[in-house]
Chain A
């Protein structure tokens, strides 16, 4: 199934001022975002027509929403590639070359925090978690209370990803092996799970997987690769990896901790 792109949906006003090459690149991103969505649509269509044998409820509004998703993701990624990614990569290279460790750690924390707060998948899941928490009577069922709760959840996750990037940078500088940290971390998760209210366990475990996608992975990877290239005895392939693993572990610990104190 292909999503029809009507002329009205083309990003004409902005791109008209930019060069034709930018427009072509944007169209390629648009096609790329559509391709990301295609397997999902294929599976849903198969179940709808072969297994359920009935039309999809709210087909029109879902189709429109899918166009929004594709267009939104394409614009988002195009914007990232022309603004935040080049600045972030330049900066990661400049900072790792200068080797001022305190500034590097401040930058690492800010990078983890900032990218996580802007991560679309986390915004989605935190919003959904807020609604479910309100329905279950854990928080007040007003839009303001729900928004406050889900924003707080995202901040906790963002602080945790910031801390994990700091540890990841320290790990690359000192050459600590990744698997001790990860396995030790999951021991901590196991112990904390026993003391956390059950309503928080599922959200905490999911927070680990949600944080690492569109913005966080490329910027954090740039930092990791820049660092391990700059330090003698580190290889970008083996030491540059592993940063994401820490960024998936820390949110679990922090959200479990948040569940214990709140």
Chain B
């Protein structure tokens, strides 16, 4: 196992780098505590140990990132685009339909990692309370996860077909703008935020490695120009699906009330 020795060698400089990453937020909080609030810190010892955990955890995560999450994304992209697997000749560019498994994999990753995301569970429960019963927590989570699945799959299609990223994103935001006009006011900030909470720390590295390696593996694509953008898709499409779900739920509620009223009057 060369992995352990390599990882241990990576850890020492990683700790230093991590310390400098966390320094700004620590400085901010301590300076404000002393200069603006002029209060001593409660439980300083426990907080110092906590900071130790933050730095050590971040450094460990960084090491795991390099040896697991990035390789996982790369390896999946390599296998999904292998000429043998696709039935193409070496260096041959197939039609976008030849890469069907790429889209299926992208959708599966997007759906599976989102539906169980803790931040999303919190947001969806809060949304159920705010909406006075029109929105349900579980269908909302499904809507967000489906949005991410469609988004990431479409993002990989864009990489395969080599079409410009901003067409998709701008068309998406035009749709969001149109949906916003007809949306219930309480749902607007919830929908906009659901785009941001879906992209978790574990998912982001795997999905970006997938995109970059896809662009590198497909003839005629450049990793720099075509490889990025999957995260943007994963953040945009949940907004569309949540607004669509909220609109449908409100419409269904109105429709049910209307039919009930008609039954009563007739």
Contact = CB atoms under 8 A, between A and B. Distances in A.
A, B assembled together = yes
B202 A84 contact: no
Interface in A62-114: 62-84, 86-88, 91, 94-95, 103, 107, 110-111, 113-114
A91 B32 contact: yes
Interface string B57-97: 11111111111111110011001100001000000000000
B3 A248 contact: no
B28 A107 contact: yes
Interface in B32-53: 32-33, 36-37, 39, 41, 46-53
A40 B63 contact: no
Contacts of A245: 189, 192-193, 195-196
B116 A36 contact: yes
A46 B117 CA distance: 20
A118 B25 contact: yes
Given A32-B118, A248-B195, A75 B231 contact: no
B24 A118 contact: yes
Interface string A20-49: 000000000000100111111011101100
A234 B106 CA distance: 40
Given A62-B72, A65-B64, A120-B201, A83 B85 contact: no
A46 to B, nearest CB: 8
A70 B223 CA distance: 29
A133 B224 contact: yes
Contacts of A60: 1, 3
B9 interface: no
A209 interface: yes
B117 to A, nearest CB: 8
A199 B200 contact: no
Nearest to A240: B189
Contacts of B163: none
Interface in B95-126: 101, 105, 108-109, 112-113, 115-119, 126
A176 B80 CA distance: 47
B195 A138 contact: no
A128 B173 contact: no
B85 A52 contact: yes
A54 B111 CA distance: 24
A44 B63 contact: no
A201 B224 CA distance: 9
Contact of A202 (B32, B85, B117, B229): B229
Interface in A182-208: 182-183, 186, 189-190, 193, 198-199, 201-203, 205-206, 208
Nearest to B3: A61
A79 B116 CA distance: 23
B143 interface: no
A22 B198 CA distance: 29
A147 to B, nearest CB: 9
Contact of A136 (B52, B192, B223): B223
Nearest to A78: B53
A132 interface: yes
Interface stretch (B134-142, B206-214, B247-255): B206-214
Contact of B47 (A87, A189, A212, A239): A87
Contact of A118 (B37, B58, B209, B232): B58
Contacts of A72: 56-64
A24 B205 CA distance: 29
A61 B199 contact: no
22 contacts: A36-B200, A61-B67, A62-B67, A66-B64, A82-B50, A83-B49, A84-B26, A84-B54, A87-B41, A114-B26, A117-B21, A118-B22, A124-B205, A129-B228, A179-B192, A189-B169, A198-B225, A202-B165, A206-B232, A209-B195, A210-B199, A212-B197
Interface of A: 14, 18, 32, 35-40, 42-44, 46-47, 51-52, 54, 56-58, 60-84, 86-88, 91, 94-95, 103, 107, 110-111, 113-115, 117-118, 120-121, 123-125, 128-129, 132-133, 135-136, 138, 158, 178-179, 182-183, 186, 189-190, 193, 198-199, 201-203, 205-206, 208-210, 212-215, 217, 237-239, 241-245, 247-248
Q: Which 9 pairs from chain A and chain B are nearest by CB? A: A65-B68, A202-B228, A79-B53, A83-B50, A75-B57, A68-B64, A76-B57, A72-B60, A114-B25
Given A40-B109, A65-B3, A205-B232, 11 more contacts: A44-B72, A47-B105, A62-B71, A75-B53, A186-B170, A202-B228, A205-B166, A205-B231, A212-B196, A245-B193, A245-B196
